[in-house]
Structure formats: structure tokens, C-alpha cells
Structure 1
Amino acid sequence: MDPRTSAQDVMRCDLCETAVVQMHCDTCLVNLCKACVGEHISKDESKDHKVVKFQSRKSTPLYPECKHHNKQQCTMYCKQCDIPVCTKCLTSDQHLGHKLSEILQIVEDKKNKIIKDQTELKEKIYPTYQDIASDVQNRMSQLKKEYGDLSTAITKHGEDWQREIDKLVKKLKAEVDEMKNTQLQTLQKHLDEINKTMSEIKEEINSVEMAIDTNDLSKLFSVTSKIHRYRNLPQKLSLSLPKFIPEKIQGEKLSKLFGTLSSSSWTSVEHGYSMKATQKLPEAGSSPPVKQLLDEPLTVVTIHTKYGKLYSVACLNDEEIWTSGYDSTMKLYSINQGSQLKSIKTKSGEWPSDIAVTKSGDLVYTDKDDRTVNIVKNGKTEEVIRLQNWIPWGVCSTSSGDLLVIMESYGKPAKVVHYSGSTEKQTIQFDDNGKSLYSSRSFRYITYYITENRNLDICVSDSGAKAVVVVNQAGKLRFRYTGHTPSPKNKPFIPVGITTDSQSQILTADINNNCVHIIDQDGQFLRYIDCGLSSPYGLCTDKSDNLFVAQMSNSQVKKIKYMY
């Protein structure tokens, strides 16, 4: 077997290409046999050849050549200048008084950092990118499925329309047949009467002719003329045919009746992914099933409260809700029975601005009169926050158990403050350009309500700005929603109560148009809910995504099913 072409061949000398490698020049990175070492060194005597045994190759450090002194190796490192230096550099004034280190120590530190970086790349970053790629692929598959479901839903809706149209056509044609038969029967009856009269006239004519032709005078005198009966001609029936008046097919009107698509969107979130090593496993049930909006929302329960004006509602659980209104008493109601179970008075004796329920089931309320935020635990009211120059309005409990409070001060733009207990953690008031995010209270009837979305966005309904303002967890403006046209009553959008659901959809009560707007987490309008609402004000949802609407004018709470 030819040793130069054998797949099992040993390494050969780079010079003679015959002998087995025994040595290695660390300077030139050349493999040598012992016989060729002298020849290799003599070829370039200007270099300091470091020839070692092949097993010890790459053990001799190759110092960088000095950029300022020809053929000088840099064995030291100037930390101040951050460059390798040679012995001639050290004798110059350029590095006088500078801190120096052996270059091998610097190299060791750099090598350790590179190894550490490489370890992070291999063990954390690359696996994280693999997970991200897998996540994107899964989302693409899910996206295809959901778009397929969307197309199927549109097709099914079209088939439903077709069935309804077929039923309508059949009904109209049956009505046409019924009208036709009725009118034909009427005309047939009229024709029968005419034919009968014509038969009588013929008999009259024959009778007269026989009397005229006879010479029997008695028969002639017996003829009595009935012509006067037949001179009164029968009535002429005028029948009007029904007309089919088709509605003009207008594409825009038809599209609105059939249903419309909300626009698609995407957002780019910096730091949306976490490193694999620090990622937390999702909690069971943290990814809710995808739900669809009902074609027609249904009112499931109506609860009659005893307020002059009802403002707020908050779910305690699937069976009980807290309510508040223009009254110093906050009341707990049974959802199914509609009966009052409990009541709690505010400490100030004035009506609360807003109420919320914490993760542990405690009632929280804001009191604009004594400028406090209070929590009710085991029937006892504790003051959590007291403000000096600000008036608290909306309040909500976050997923972490903290509190978000939207507050205002006359002449100043409103602000959101994030509290952990009584400690202020964050204030959100201005955007990146220094412009206020929320309106300033310049007259009496501005209201502000707040909620936290499932994606941790902070959502505020600002009636003064006629907008829903949504910022992310860091307080950066994501979007403003200023209503959708045409609105049910074609009146300006005035948002009051606000809530969210498991799909991160945002729902806000529009008191001016007696409806609730549903928008997605990116601010796209989805649909209206009206259900015969009267002055809808406070909103909340339960864990099953049932919507509760507090109606201000009639003091009723409606439980509405709007998703399946």
C-alpha cells in the first residue's frame, strides 16, 4: 500500500514528505523529521525558530512583533496604552511611568475571558437561539392553523348566509305563489258568474225567438223581457300585482352586514426573550386557550343594586361581585341570586372613586375626599397610601400583587404611580419627548380608570383625552385608542371603566354611546357590545371571561357572555 495515499497513513515531514514527523517548529508552524530540522532553520536564520517535539507543539508562545521596532518581540504589555511593547519600547520615554505587565499574564486573562465567553455561547446563547427558532417555527405553525380557522369561519359564515338567503328566497316565492293563487281564485269565481249570466242570456234569446216565430198569440203575450237585468254589466275587477323591490347591493354596506376583518399587526419587543439558563418554566395554565368572540353577546344575569348611581364593579370570585356608587357603602352581591351579602362603609363617609380586588381577595378602594388608598382585610379597613397634593382615581391590583393608582391634581397632567405596599416604585406621566401621557383636570367631570393587561401593559381610560392610553411595563407609550367609527350613536367616544381578559383584549365602557368597545392588545378595534346597555360605567371580567357592566343610570349590573 502506498504510504502517501493510504487512509491510515501517519503524518509526514512537511519538507521531505517521506519521513515520519518527530519535531515541530512553533515559530513557523511546520512539522519536521529530525533530519530536516537543520535545513529548516538554515532557510531563514533571521527568525528565532522554536523547534520542539511534535507532542509538545504549540507550547512555545509566539510573541507579537513590535510595530515600532523591527524584529523585536513584545514580551510586556502596557496597560495604560493598552498595547504590547518590546524591551526597546520600555527604554523610550513613551511608556515612562506606565503600569506594565508580562504579556503572558494578559494573554492568560484574555484567554480565560474568551473561554468564558465561548462557554456562554455554547451553553446559554446558542441553545437560547435554538429555543427562539423553535418558538418562531411553532408560532408560524400556530399562525397557519389560526389563519386556516379564520378562513374556515368566514366560509362557514358564508354558508350560514347562503342558507338564510335560500330560506328567504323560498319564503318570498311561497308568498308570491299564495298571492297568485288567491287572485286567480278570485278571477275564476268572477268568470264563473259571468259564464252563468251568459248562459241565462242565451236561454232568454231562444225563448224570445220561439215566441216570435209561433202563431200562438197566448205564448207571445206570456214572454216577459228580462233585458233590464242584463243591461247592468258586471263589475270589472282590477287586481294589483305585488312588486319585488330589491335592495341595491352596495359592497361596503354588504361587507359591514356580513362582517369585517380587524387589521393584522405585529410589534417588536426588545428583550422579549430571556436566556435559557434564566428562563422560568411557564406555570400550568399560563397560556390560555384561544377564544373567539360571539356573533351576538348574551346577557346572562342582571343584578339590581340599591344605589342612586352605580359606578364600579369588581369580581371577588365566580359567584360574588363588589360594587360601589354614589354612596359611602360598598356592597357585596351574589351573582346568581342577586342578593346583597355584605356591606362596608368608607372611613371618610364619602363615596369611593374606584374599587378593586387583590390576588388574595381583599377589597381595595380609593377615596378622593381624604386622598387615600385603603384595603379591607377581614372586615377591617387599613390606610395603605395617603397623598398630599394628588387625588386618587382608578386603582387595580397587578399580577405581582402590587397596586397601580391613576391620580390627578388640578391643572397638572394625571399620572400613574406603581406602589409596592406603601412604597412608590415607579411614576408614569410623560412620554419620551416630554409630552404628558394623560389629560390635565381642567373641569369637574374628568374620570380616570386603570387596569393591567395580561402582557403587563398598563391601560388607562382617560375621559378628558377621550382616549384609552396604553404603555408597557417600563412606561413607554405603546398606543392611544380614540374610538371607532361609526359608533352606535355617532357620538364622541367617552371612555370610563376599563378591564382586560385572558386574550389580552382591552374592554372599555363608552358612556356616550351606551356600549363597550373591545380592542386587541395592539389597539385594533374588534367589535362593540351593546346588549341594551344604559350608561355603562364600571367594568370587570371574571376568570371565565364573563363581562360585568355596572350601569350608572339604572344601577344594574349585567353579566355578559361575549366569547366562546
Structure 2
Amino acid sequence: MSDTHKGHTISTLEDIYRSRKEGISKDTEELENIISPCYEEIATDLETRIDDLDKDYEKLVTALSDHEEDWHRKITSIANKVKDGIKEIKVKHISILKEHLDEIKQILIQIKQTRLNLLTIDDSNKVILTMEYRSKNEEFRKLPQKFHVSPPNFNPKTIDTEQLSELFGSLTPLSIIREAIRYKARKPHTSTEHFLRDPKVITSINTGNENLCSVTCLSDENIWINAFDTRSTDMKCFNIQGTVMNTIKTKTGNWSNDIAVTGDGDLLYSSGTSRTVNRVKSGQTEELFRLLGWIPNNLCVTSSGDLLVTMYSNDKTQSRVARYSGSREKQTIRFDDDGKALYSGTDSIKCITENRNLDICVADFNACAVVVVNHTGNLRFRYTGFCFSSKPQLFKPFGITTDSQSQILTSNYHNDSIYILDSDGEFLTLIDCCDLKTPTGLCVDSNDFLFVAEYDSGLVKKIQYLKQK
């Protein structure tokens, strides 16, 4: 190399060195801030799931034991009915034999009396007694019919073990779903700059209920709630100051599974007891429709005025989403393109909402996932709770709602948090402050204030989580 080019060589090496150093710095930053925390989060999530497996399987064994006891009770009830029948037949049997015995004893009395009369005549010298005597032996010689009354027989049915096993129930196979975890550059609309650094509670409404499950906005100033509270099965409307504005009882007297509000302000509620969805208009309750083979669970009124209903089968092995226009079913969402079930097949909570882009979002509590399909029912994504957080990460989504920016908010009942995703399922941020305790139902008003129902406390908290324009 000539001396005239040595300066260029040094300059080029410096550029390469500087570029390599910048690459090393970027790799280090990515490893420390993105890749390593991601793997740590995955490990934490797996450890939490493993730790909680005992509880899940204990619940499974408990459900099986409860079913077993239910069978025992029903078999005992059937056996008791047969035993009662035996007692009734025995009483009738004894009555028949005693009635026949009474007849025989009456004849024996007559025979005894006749013998006494004969002895009297034989010892007497009165001719008239002998001449008036008429023999009754011919009558007594006609012995009564002999009664043969046999006790009933018990004819047990042959027990078909295979058929009995099918009737008793079976376990579904272990479901293993593998999902690729991808790194995506944030899109402009997924910026977190519009979130408050520290979300704050604007007000708390004490509903006076335990096991608070659902909250839905009637307006910016009024909310409806329902609870699985044995002390009160009423659905209540509160204003922001916490005053009860209206109270409605279900037609069955039991609590409703879920509530929703129509565009006209009418209250809708689902009843698992009667398998109906009902509308309360001007204080009068009317049945919209009644399901056959399915039990309605959670509700959502769409932007078009349709009603989305999550439901599960009578045997609690299948779930689906159905869209109704009035009382007419117009769409069913149940399987993905591969024919696999979209939702877990149990009677667990499956809160539902419609996003601004018409996606249908379901918080599947038992599946530990938020399942989002488009308006035609095709699967868009399944979010299973991955995020950067110091809290335990078992994901148990309960309530779900969306805001004006098409962000999806879902309550994690397990770790007292609200997860916020963008419309494509990318995690944005976590609300894990505001002293949240067992958050369940969610709704957002027209100003993007979030209402959170707390299961244990019975409080509904109004939270500001976005910066106000």
C-alpha cells in the first residue's frame, strides 16, 4: 500500500471499529432491556403456572368427587324409592292375610258355638230341640280358598360398565397449544405516551354487594352492576355519587349471569336458571329468547345494535359465541380454521366485548387467554398474558372492554392488575396500582374513564389511566 493511501486506511478502520462498537452497544442494550427480560418473564410465568398446577388439579379432583357424590345421592334416592315401594307392598300383603285370618276366626267362632249347641241338645230330653235341629256341617265342610300371596321380587338391571362410564363423564385430553413469541417494533399508534404514568382513582362506589362480577355504563353518570351475592340477587343502577337509582329483580329470583345496556338504555340480562336472555324496558321484563342445549353466560351489545352472547353446552364441555339480531341467531363463532375450539369448553366466565374495528374480544378465564376474532369469526390472535412486570404472571382474564383508541383492557383476577393491549394484541402497559383487589368486570365511558368492579370488596372504582386532551 502506498503512503498516499495510509490515511484512508486508518480512517476506514476507525469507521469499522466505531461501527462495531455501536453494534456491540446495541446488542448489549437489546440483551439487557428486551431479550433477557423476555426470557426471565417466560421463566417466571412457567414457574407460576407449575406452582398453581396443584390448585388446578385439586379443583379437577374436587369436581369429580362432587359429581361422584351426586351420583351416590341419586342412586341412594332411587334405592330409597324402591324401599318405600317394598314397605307399601308389605303393608298391603299383611292387610290381605289379616283380612283372610279374620274371616277364618269368625267361622271358628261359629263352629265352636255350633258344637256347644249340639252338646246342649244331646244332653237335653226336650224333643223339640232335637226336632228343630238343622245340621250346618255341610256349610262348614266347604273349606275356604287358600290364599297364596308372594312377596315381590327385585329384578336388578345388568350394569354395563362401558355405558355407565360414558354416562358418568370423561376427561378431555390435555390441550397443548404452542405459540411463537415474536418481537415487533411498536407501531406509531401503539405509543404509550398517552398513558398516565400513575393512573388514579377518581371515585369509588360502594355497592354493598359481595362477589361483584359485572359493571356496565348506562351513561357517563350512571352504571349498572350485578353480583353473585346470595344475600341480594338484585341488579342495581348507581350514580357516580354512589346513590342507588334503580333496582331490578330477575324473573327467576336468582342472580343474573351478566348484564348489558342497549343503545336505547334498556337493561339486558342473561339467566342461567331459565336459559334465557331478557330485556327490561320501562320497568317491564320481557324474554328475548330461550336457548335449547346451551346456557347463556356473558353479553355485549355491538355498535350495530346486535347482541353477542357467550354460552356453554348443557354438559359443560363446549363453548361458543352467538350473534343475535333481536331474537334471531345470525352468527355462530366456535372453531378456528383448523377446526379447533376457539374457547375452553367449560362454564367458566367468558366476558365479551366488541372493539372499534369490529373485532370480537373474549376473556377466557379458564383458558388463561384473551381470544380475538374479526367480525366474520376468523381468529386474529390469542393473548396469554405475557408482559414485563414484577408481579406473578398467572394470567386469569376476567372482565374485558375497549376504549376510543381501540385498546383492549382486561382484568387479571389473579394478580390484581389491568392489562392494556393494542388492537393487534401487543402488550402496551399494566395498571397495577390504585389498590386494586380481585378486579372482575370492566367498562369504559365516553370519556375513556375506566370502571373496575372488585369481586371481594364490592367496590366499583372509576380510574383515569389516559392523559386528558
- In which range does the TM-score fall when normalised by the shorter chain? 0.5 to 0.7
2:209 to 292, 298, 307: 307
Deviations 1:356-394 (A, max 9, x none): 111111111111111111111111111112111111111
Q: Distance in 1 between matches of 2:318 and 2:342?
A: 8
2:281 to 367, 377, 386: 377
1:517 aligns with 2:419: yes
- Correspondences of 1:530-549 after superposition (within 5 Å): 530=432, 531-549=434-452
Q: Distance in 2 between matches of 1:348 and 1:430?
A: 33
Q: Distance in 2 between matches of 1:346 and 1:488?
A: 42
Kindly indicate whether the alpha-carbon contact (under 8 Å) linking 1:300 and 1:559 is maintained by their aligned counterparts in 2. Answer: yes
TM superposition shift of 1:497 = 0.6
Kindly indicate whether the alpha-carbon contact (under 8 Å) linking 1:291 and 1:503 is maintained by their aligned counterparts in 2. Answer: no
- Correspondences of 1:388-427 after superposition (within 5 Å): 388-409=292-313, 410-427=315-332
Q: Which residue of 1 aligns with 2:223?
A: 321
TM superposition shift of 1:447 = 1.1
Q: Distance in 2 between matches of 1:538 and 1:450?
A: 10
Q: Distance in 2 between matches of 1:437 and 1:422?
A: 24
TM superposition shift of 1:489 = 2.8
> Post-superposition, which runs of at least 4 consecutive aligned residues in structure 1 deviate over 3 A?
250-253, 262-266, 485-488
- Correspondences of 1:75-86 after superposition (within 5 Å): none
Q: Point out where structure 2 has 5 or more consecutive residues left out of the alignment.
A: 1-30, 38-182
1:344 aligns with 2:248: yes
Q: Which residue of 1 aligns with 2:458?
A: 555
- Correspondences of 1:65-76 after superposition (within 5 Å): none
TM superposition shift of 1:265 = 6.2
Q: Secondary structure of the equivalent of 1:461?
A: strand
Q: Which residue of 1 aligns with 2:336?
A: 431
Deviations 1:99-157 (A, max 9, x none): xxxxxxxxxxxxxxxxxxxxxxxxxxxxxxxxxxxxxxxxxxxxxxxxxxxxxxxxxxx
TM-score by length of 1: 0.48
Bigger relative contact order, structure 1 or 2 (CA pairs below 8 A, ≥6 apart): 2
Q: Which amino acid aligns with 1:541?
A: V
1:330 aligns with 2:235: yes
TM superposition shift of 1:328 = 1.8
Q: Secondary structure of the equivalent of 1:376?
A: strand
TM superposition shift of 1:308 = 2.0
Q: Distance in 1 between matches of 2:33 and 2:379?
A: 34
TM superposition shift of 1:292 = 1.3
1:364 aligns with 2:268: yes
Q: Distance in 2 between matches of 1:422 and 1:535?
A: 35
TM superposition shift of 1:494 = 0.2
Return closer, same or farther for 1:377/1:411 CA change in 2, 3 Å cut-off: closer
Kindly indicate whether the alpha-carbon contact (under 8 Å) linking 1:487 and 1:513 is maintained by their aligned counterparts in 2. Answer: no
1:473 aligns with 2:254: no
Q: Secondary structure of the equivalent of 1:412?
A: coil
Q: How many residues align?
A: 283
Kindly indicate whether the alpha-carbon contact (under 8 Å) linking 1:293 and 1:562 is maintained by their aligned counterparts in 2. Answer: yes
1:448 to 350, 363, 370: 350
Q: Point out where structure 1 has 5 or more consecutive residues left out of the alignment.
A: 1-249, 257-261, 267-289
Deviations 1:274-327 (A, max 9, x none): xxxxxxxxxxxxxxxx98111111110000011122111000001100011024
Q: Which residue of 2 aligns with 1:214?
A: none
Q: Which residue of 1 aligns with 2:384?
A: 482
